Amino acid sequence: MRPSVREAMLAAVPSLRAFAISLCGNVDRADDLVQETLLRAMANIDSFQPGTNMSAWLFTILRNLFRSEYRKRRREVEDSDGSYAESLKSHPEQHSRVEFEEFRVALAKLPSDQREALILVGASGFSYEEAASICDCAVGTIKSRVNRARTRLSELLSIDGTDDFGPDQSTRAILSAGGRGG
Amino acid sequence: MQTDAHIRKAGGRLSREDQRRLGDILQRVYDDVVRQGVPDRFRELLNELDDSHEAEGSGVQRSVEEDSDARSGNGNGKSSGNEERDRHRGANALEHPQNKGSS
């Protein structure tokens, strides 16, 4: 493997993990998925076109792996076992952990096609065109999924007392508090 | 039109302000994972794959190398150009087979 290829793969790992965790809702499974992605990428490195976006290529592989294998076990995969929250405990930003967890729970309720579109465009920093390429669909489809995802998320985070979600005052506070994070 | 009440009522498009807030949380949740960096597990994996294919430890990795050699017009497999690299990384792999975990 060329050093530059390895470096590019390593550089993509943090965001691959974030994407995988968003898809799986489970850190251990997500890391397995990232590992599979790297193995698959190495085995098919010849099909990577130098000069193109390594990150987008890896995201495509990861997304396809998730769809083909993990989706079959969706019930199991999307089971929240708290390992995500556990991973956040190691992070110094304790104060936002609860808010993160609430958000993650809401995120997990989205249909996976909406969720992946939202993450790719809203967090991973891909353009609509790149996201469409990763998800193998039309740009308009991505836009529509992102819009539906946002709408559904805000509904989930605004309504308290849903069965397994419970009161989410801190998240509502965030949604109604203007000018933060600036 | 762009009030918080519309988050719940509209069922359609969110105001720009609401989108921004959602996007802000989403980004922070995501970045929290990104900031964890590269776990050793993946660094080791890539090192291992590197070493094992140079030490002929894994068929998958060998085929990767053969492919890239073929692409660059260098059909000799383990060519002299790689020898120096082998000495640094491959030597360890030969003494400590790293085939584990590549099943």
Query: In the block, which residue shows the tokens 């998320």?
Result: A153
Residue in B10, B46, B60 nearest the CB of A9: B46
Model confidence pLDDT, tens digit, residues A89-146:
444 455 456 667 788 888 889 998 999 999 999 999 999 999 999 999 999 999 999 9
Window B:74-103, CB contacts with A under 8 Å: none
What would the mean pLDDT of A134-159 be, rounded to a whole number?
91
A49 phi and psi angles, rounded to 5 deg: -90, 115
Distance, CA of A19 to CA of A29 (rounded, Å):
12
pTM comes to 0.64
Window A:158-177, CB contacts with B under 8 Å: 158-159, 171, 174-176
Q: Are A57 and A48 in contact (CB under 8 A)?
A: yes
Task: Kindly tell me the burial class for residue A120, based on how many C-beta atoms sit within 10 Å of its own C-beta (0-12, 13-18, 19 or more).
Answer: buried
pLDDT at B15: 78
User: How many Cβ atoms sit within 10 Å of the Cβ of residue A104?
Assistant: 18
Greater confidence, B48 or A152?
Answer: A152
Distance, CA of A125 to CA of A128 (rounded, Å):
9
- Which residues of A fall within a CB distance of 8 Å from B8? 154-155, 158-159
Residue A73: pLDDT band by 50, 70, 90 thresholds? low
Residue A163: pLDDT band by 50, 70, 90 thresholds? very low
Token output for A46 = 């010849």
Answer whether residue A54 shows pLDDT above 90.
yes
Query: In the block, which residue shows the tokens 């995802």?
Result: A149
pLDDT at A172: 47
Answer whether residue A148 shows pLDDT above 90.
yes
> What integer best gives the mean pLDDT of chain A?
78
pLDDT at A31: 95
Model confidence pLDDT, tens digit, residues B19-76:
788 888 899 889 989 999 999 999 999 888 777 665 544 444 444 444 444 444 443 4
- Which residues of A fall within a CB distance of 8 Å from B42? 10, 13, 34-35, 38
ipTM of the complex: 0.72
The one-letter amino acid code at A168 reads: D
Query: Which of B25, B28, B71 to mutate to test binding with chain A, by most A CBs within 10 Å of its CB?
Result: B25
The one-letter amino acid code at B70 reads: A
pLDDT at B54: 59
